[in-house]
Each structure stands twice: as C-alpha cells, then as structure tokens.
A = this chain, B = another copy of it.
Amino acid sequence: MPSDNPVLLILDLVGTLAFALNGALTAIRVTRLDIVGVVTLGMITGLGGGMIRDVLIDDLPPATFNDWRYLVVAAGGGLLAYALSRWLDRLITPILIFDAAGLSLFAVTGASKGLDFGLGVGQAIILGTITAVGGGTVRDVMVRQVPTVLHSGLYAIPALVAATIVAGAYGFGFEGVSIAVGAAVVCFAIRLVGLRLNLNAPGPPGQHR
C-alpha cells in the first residue's frame, strides 16, 4: 500500500494535488461553476483514479477514506485553483501540465500498488494505466467533453510506458525511488512532447479530417 511506502505516498499525494488543480481549473474554464462545483470537480479529478484503482484491487474502503491527507490535498488543490482563477487566461498551459503530472505520477503509483497487492507484471501495467487515465476521464464525462484518453493519441500511451517501466523493472528484480521517479519523468516528457507538437496517432484510413 502506498501509505506504507513514504516515497509512493508522496508521489501519490503530489499526483492528487496536480489532478485537483487541473480538475478545478477545468471546472472554471469549461463550465463556469461556483466554488462548490469547482472544488467538487477538483476533488473528483484528484481522487477518482485512486478510487477506481482501489475498487479494482479490492482495497476497500479506498485509501481516500482511510487517510485524510488525500482529502485535504484534493480539497486544498481545488480551493487554490479557485483563488487562482482570476488569472485564468495565463493558466491554460499550467492546466495541461498539471494533467500530465497527475497522469505520470498515478501511472507509477497505480502500477506499484498493484505489485504490492500481488498482481502480476501484466496486470500491474493495466492497473497503472487505468489509475492514470481514470480521474481525467471522470472529469471529462462530468463536464460533457469527449475524454482526453479517447481523442488524444499520446495520453494512454505514455501512462502505459511508465507503468511498463515500473512493472518491468520489478519483474527483473529492480524497484525503488529512482525507477519510480524515472518512469514518471519519461511519461511526463512523452506527454509534453505530444502536446507541444500536437501529435496524435494516425487517424482511420480513408477518413479525411
């Protein structure tokens, strides 16, 4: 369980904060919600991926329910985003960077928690990927957007890469802070390159877009 591993707990909390900031700013940008809606969407985005993860590995009630730090960090991120919303015009890029950070960190902590719970390497890769894309997918559904995981070619793939690095290294007997951080950095870099170059995977053949 991440909570037993201080490094993973920190990565998990930083990921929660990043997604909470992202979700709350998205709430302001897309649908102009009031403070309760902003903080609520921030919390859903920050906590959603981890709750899906914990349901799938049957670690219930979810970590959120047992460790108040998650709730405090998610609510704090939502409130901070609300306070920052005055400067929303300058926050378009940060919104995407927070999302990339949450994605990267949750891919790593999802895969690691899966391994700690005895999943095989392949299973841990899937769990890491689902954890990474879960919160943002719930966020997009709630504000009626096509989920990023569907329309952005380089969203699920960097998460899959990071989860594969963590679980693959574990399969070869390696684990530790440097692998976790390195995997997150690789995912983050791929995601940012994709955003910068607006790279998507190829579209369906015969479809002009």
Point out the residue from B60, B61, B149 that lies within 8 Å of A40, measured CB to CB: B149
Q: Which of A1-9, A121-129, A170-178 contacts B (4 or more CB under 8 A)?
A: A121-129
Contact across chains for A150 and B41 when beta carbons are under 8 A apart: yes
A207 at the interface (CB under 8 A from B): yes
Is chain A's binding surface mostly helix, strand, loop or mixed?
helix
A37-61 interface with B by 8 A CB criterion: 37-38, 40-41, 51, 55-58, 60-61
Q: How many of these chains are in the complex?
A: 3
Closest B residue to A25 by beta carbon equals: B204
Interface residues of A (CB under 8 A from B): 27-28, 31-38, 40-41, 51, 55-58, 60-62, 64-66, 68, 71, 82-83, 85-86, 88, 119, 122-123, 126-127, 137, 141-144, 146-147, 149-157, 200-207, 209
Which of the listed residues A34, A142, A146 has the most CB atoms from chain B within 10 Å of its own CB?
A34
Q: 12 extra interchain contacts, Cβ-Cβ under 8 A, other than A35-B204, A36-B157, A142-B150?
A: A27-B150, A33-B203, A34-B151, A37-B153, A40-B149, A40-B150, A56-B60, A57-B61, A85-B205, A85-B207, A142-B146, A142-B147
Contact across chains for B34 and A200 when beta carbons are under 8 A apart: yes
Measured between beta carbons, the chain B residues less than 8 angstroms from A33 are: 150-151, 203
Contact across chains for A31 and B146 when beta carbons are under 8 A apart: yes
Cβ contacts A to B, 20 pairs, < 8 Å: A28-B207, A32-B203, A32-B204, A33-B151, A34-B201, A35-B153, A35-B204, A36-B154, A37-B150, A55-B55, A55-B60, A64-B126, A65-B127, A68-B122, A83-B205, A85-B204, A85-B206, A141-B141, A141-B142, A143-B146
